[in-house]
Amino acid sequence: MKHIAIYPGAFDPIHFGHVDIAIRAASIFDELVVAVYDKPAKPLLFTIQERVELTRQALADLPNARVAAYSSLTVEFAREVGAQAIVRGLRATNDFELEYQMALTNRKLAPEIEFICLMTRQDYAFLSSSVVKEVALLGGDVSGMVPLHVASALEIKKREREKNHQPAPVVSLRD
Ligand code: ADP
């Protein structure tokens, strides 16, 4: 039997923490489908097509991984591609609360699908797409956080937003 997993997320944009989880998951499963969620409940910088393309390029060296967009329930998408498992990455304790809740809900919806969490590498424990976006849009160096093509895409977004007088989202100063 072919063992297939999906790795779902917003990937807005993909960063080294995501890439690390994808590489490790791809080494465990025969096939990994990196599933880019169409409309997450958070403000997005990149369109679904852009997120898929940036993710595809970042994982181009992983022969058993492919990238696909989805907009249904995650467990429904997992069933659609014949996956037996959903992989997630765990950073700090607040990730755990959310993942635990999601795992239990998903088990009710699809008891045949296993939920697997991989611990982040220490270097990426505080890395999130929100931090990447904040640093990039304020002109900081993101070369240690994202692949080169993602840094270039962020630079283009920064210039576009400046042209349209859109302020950079400052998550670190949020209430
Ligand atoms: P984020 O905006 O937090 O980066 P995503 O929705 O794109 O989030 O995340 C997709 C999955 O990747 C989630 O399981 C998330 O916990 C995981 N993930 C995000 N950042 C990291 C990281 N630095 N290390 C390990 N896993 C991560």
Question: What separation in Å is there between the alpha carbon of 8 and the centre of ligand 1?
Answer: 9
Q: What is the mean pLDDT of residues 145-169?
A: 91
pLDDT in tens, 76-93: 999 999 999 999 999 977
**Catalytic (active site) residue 42:** yes
pTM greater than 0.75: yes
Q: What is the mean pLDDT of residues 113-142?
A: 95
**Catalytic (active site) residue 107:** no
Atom of ligand 1 nearest to the CA of 130: 2
pLDDT score at 171: 64
Per DSSP, the residues of the chain read ---EEEEEE--TT--HHHHHHHHHHHHHSSEEEEEEESS-SS--SS-HHHHHHHHHHHTTT-TTEEEEEE-S-HHHHHHHTT-SEEEEEE-SHHHHHHHHHHHHHHHHH-TTSEEEEEEPPGGGTT--HHHHHHHHHTT---TTTS-HHHHHHHHHHHHHHHHTTPPPP-GGG--
pLDDT in tens, 6-62: 999 999 999 999 999 999 999 999 999 999 999 888 889 999 999 999 999 999 999
Instruction: Break the chain into its structural domains and give their ranges.
Output: 4-124, 129-163
Question: What separation in Å is there between the alpha carbon of 14 and the centre of ligand 1?
Answer: 9
Superfamily assignment of 4-124 in CATH?
HUPs (3.40.50.620)
**Catalytic (active site) residue 172:** no
Q: Is the pLDDT of residue 1 over 70?
A: yes
